[in-house]
Structures are given as C-alpha cells and as structure tokens.
Amino acid sequence: MRQDHLISATQLSRADIEAVLDRAAEIDADPAAWQGRRAGTVLGLCFFEPSTRTRMSFDAAMKRLGGQTIDMGPVESSSVKKGETLADTMRVVEGYADAIVLRHPSEGAAKMATDFVDVPLVNAGDGAGQHPTQTLLDLYTMRENAGLDGITVGIMGDLKYGRTVHSLASALTNFDVRQHFISPESLSLPRSVRYDLHASGAQVREHTALDDVLTDLDVLYVTRIQRERFPDENEYLKVAGEYQIDVAALEAAKDSLTVMHPLPRVDEIAPDVDGTDYATYFEQAHNGVPVRMALLDMLLANAEPEGDR
C-alpha cells in the first residue's frame, strides 16, 4: 500500500486490501514475532466521538508492535472545549505523534484534517461518511469464514447513516461478491454510495425484507440504527426495533451462514444467536488488533525514508 493516509475505502484496490489482510494473517499466526517491530513509535488517538473497539484495538495494535500511544481523551477534557478548531488540534498532535487516528462526528473531517498534517492519518469514522479500517477487519473476517470471491453478502439495517456500510459496500466491489441491501426505505443507501456501486459495475440489489434473500446469503452483516445521526428523534423512533434477528428468524438460512456486526449492538441481534455457529461478531471485533497492526506497520513503513523500510 503506497498511500500516506487512509481516509476512505474507495482508495483501496484489491491488491491493497489483500496486502493488509495477508500481513494481518502473518501477524495472527505468530504475534510475538511482531513485538518490538515499531519500538519508539508514538500513535496519537484523537476521538471526538465515543469508541470502544476502534480506540482500544488501535491502542493494543500499536503497543503490540512495541510502540506507544497518546490519547487526546474525552472531548470534554480537551482544548476543544475552549473552542480550538480541528485544524489547530491536528497541527499540534502531528508534532507529538508519528501517526494519527481520528474519529469525528462530521463527514469529511478526516479528509480536511489531512491538509494540516504530514504524518499518516487514519480515518476511524467521520460522521455518516466512511470507516475504512472497520472494513479491513470486516473483510479479514469474511475471508476467514466465507472466502471473498463467489459469495453473496446481505447488509442490513441503517444503510443511510452507517459509515461501516458505506466503506464495506465500496470495498466489496473489488471482489466477486453479490451484494443485497436490506433496510426500511427511509434508511436505504445514500444516493452517492448507490451511484458509485452502480458505476463500478457491482452486482447490487435492494430489499425491504430479509426473507426475500436470506436463503441465498453466505454472510449477513447486521448494523445498528445510528440513533445519534438522526436530525429528528421521532424519525428514529419510527424505525427503532425493526430489522432485528434471532435464531428463529434465521431458520431458512444456510447452515454455513456467517453473521457479522461491527458492534456495538443494541437489539439488532438477539442474544440467542450468540451461542450458534452463525455468530462471528466477537471474532470480528478481535480481528481489529492484527488488522490494525498490519495497517499501522505498512503506513509507518511508507512514511519512512526509503532506506529504513
């Protein structure tokens, strides 16, 4: 991968994706061999929105490579509270860190931030925009469980505001994957994402009922309704509680179905699914560490002078 920053999954070619996934598999096979590989490196974590998995797995990834992390902490205890702009925060943090991970509620924030930093910057979620590192671990999990070519994937839930959906749908166009999108009409794919999918020649269909496609699916990727992004709480309440699955709802599915979810889940997947062979979402969350180790290692190598890689 030759990029300096990772802002959108649309940047990633099939070769880029496979390079990260292959490196992650190497790390997974022998994690101890990578300890110390990036000793002396400092990663800046700047999260302007809540996060558990993304923040902690980046933190773990950097430490497992032998580096260290510095964390801006909650927005309430940072200078953002005093009115500091994102541009100024980024200009300052780039002087403290060798790479920056940024999560922000505004779509486009990560792209904008790249104007102010010279160190590699990774978008860990920009509003309803993109979440490309989630996509890399989603693809890693999919490859391990279902393969990445010749499969049928259903993506269900909040396709409008779900940034993990936007990134995943775009990355899947690099593979021989049929994509089915299942959502209430009010939460269907944004026009721009749908346009890009069609322009790439992807095999895409949209539905309002899971039952229309369930029997065809190799992977079902369930997402949370993104309550915090609804301009009107009443609109959220109209769709809350829809598009939930439990073991009974999966009765017609293939035995080999892989059920994924970027987490956190609220009530989209009933706890009775957790103990079944379908459930892959906790494994998926754990894959965040080797995948982010692989990505950080590659981005940091790109940032080094050629002779040091």
Residue ranges that bind ligand NCD, judged by CB under 6 A: 53-54, 125, 131, 134, 163-164, 224, 262-263
227 among known catalytic residues: no
Structure tokens at 109: 């924030």
131 among known catalytic residues: yes
Q: Nearest distance from residue 157's CB to ligand NCD, in Å?
A: 9
Q: Nearest distance from residue 150's CB to ligand NCD, in Å?
A: 27
Q: Nearest distance from residue 32's CB to ligand NCD, in Å?
A: 27
Catalytic pick from 23, 38, 41, 54? Answer: 54
d(CA 232, CA 271): 29
Alpha-carbon distances of 258 from 107, 147, 271, 280, 291, rounded to whole Å? 30, 11, 16, 6, 19
Question: Which residue in the block uniquely carries the two structure tokens 């102010």?
Answer: 116
Q: Nearest distance from residue 288's CB to ligand NCD, in Å?
A: 8
103 among known catalytic residues: yes
| Strand ordering across the sheet containing 203-207 | 203-207, 177-182, 151-156, 219-222, 258-260
Catalytic pick from 10, 37, 53, 111? Answer: 53
Counting beta carbons within 10 angstroms of the beta carbon of residue 261, is it exposed (0 to 12), middle (13 to 18) or buried (19 or more)? buried
- Whether the CA torsion 298, 88, 67, 142 is positive or negative: it is negative
**Contact in structure between 131 and 101 (CB atoms under 8 Å):** no
Which residues are annotated as catalytic? Answer: 53-54, 82, 103, 131
